Structures are given as structure tokens and as C-alpha cells.
Amino acid sequence: MGTNVAVGEAGLSGTLAAALAALDCESLRVTQISRFYSTPCWPPGAGPDFVNAAAEIETELSPDAVLARLHAVEAVFGRDRGTRWAARTLDLDLLAMGDLVLPDATTQTLWRTLPAEAQAREAPDRLILPHPRIQDRAFVLVPLADIAPDWRHPILGLTVAEMLAALPEAEKVGISPVSGPWAGLSALVKTFETQ
């Protein structure tokens, strides 16, 4: 999850904390939250820097129902899905659901290995799990390693910690925790206290 356009006066971390509070409901329980991280905008030059985090959820909902819930929360926060990789008030991605591969291994591999220039032009018309770019993005893997370092990619066979270690150090430059080691949790607690 990430934001680089704050909603209201709470700032970027406050926007993420409010989004976590909005996600947490009877059918979708937030069980773990990473630290919040300041991360360089990706792709470079597409807007201001982001605050990113990762959350683990428990649910009995289908993957498509979870994605619909994520998109509904994005809409509440004013997300405009019109431009790919533009600045955004909120970006909620479904990275994985256990070892589930959707829609199938061949399609997941096709999107995972898509050349960078094609990635900029094309977007899948259905949910792909695990997220096809999970292994390539430090801004995803750094927070994910806080809460699920041992989760193993069902096709690549690599853990989050191994995928993160495989990234060039240059990809990790500029990623730093926001406001101390438990900024994510403390921001969420503050959000719940004010409701």
C-alpha cells in the first residue's frame, strides 16, 4: 500500500493509517502492519516520494472480492485510476493470497516476465497472483519483509527475504522508516483513538 498525495491534513502516514482503519472490517481483518517507509517515487519522475507499507489480512472473501474491497477503499480516498503509475492518494495492491496462483502459472509468468517498456503500456484485465512485479520492487519487498519475510513465492520458490536480498543495492537507496520503528502501528493506533 502507498500514497504520495495526502488526503486532508493528516499527511501521508495519516492517509495510510486511515486506509488501514477503513479496510479493517468483519470480513477483512488486518492482522499485521509493517513499519511505514518513505520511498522514492516509482517510476522516477512520476510525482513526489511515497510512504509505503504492507499489511497482512485474514479473510474468507474470494481474491476478486478482496480486490473489489481494496478498490472501494481507494475510491473513498479519491484515487483516480485513469493514469497508470501517476501520483495517487492511495494505492492498495493485493500482492498474494497464500500460495494461490491466479489465473494460472502460465499467465502469471507471462506478466511477471513482461519487458519494462511493455509494462508501461499494458495492464492486465484480471487479477494476477502473486502480483507480477512483487519480486522487482524494493518499495514492496522492504515493508513486506517486516511482516512476512518467510512467505515463499509459489512459482519462483523464493522467500520475501531472498527476493529482497537479490535486488541490487541501488534499488533500495532512499527507502527509510518513517518516524521510528513502529510508525505504522502507532499511526494506526492514533487513528483508532480519534474515531
Segment 2-36, tens digit of pLDDT: 998 878 777 888 888 889 889 988 899 998 999 99
Give the catalytic positions in this structure.
Answer: 79, 88, 91, 93
Kindly provide the b/e burial profile for residues 32-71, where b requires at least 16 CB atoms within 10 angstroms of the residue's own CB: ebbbbbbbebbeeeeeeebbbbbbebebeeebeebbebbe
Q: Which cell numbers in the block locate residue 192?
A: 483508532
Number of domains in the chain: 1
Percent of the chain with pLDDT over 70: 87
Please check the confidence at residue 187 and state whether its pLDDT lies above 70. Answer: no
Whose grid coordinates read 517498456? 117
Q: What is the CATH number of the domain that holds 184?
A: 3.30.70.560
Asked if pLDDT for residue 159 goes beyond 60, the answer is: yes
pTM assigned to the model? 0.87
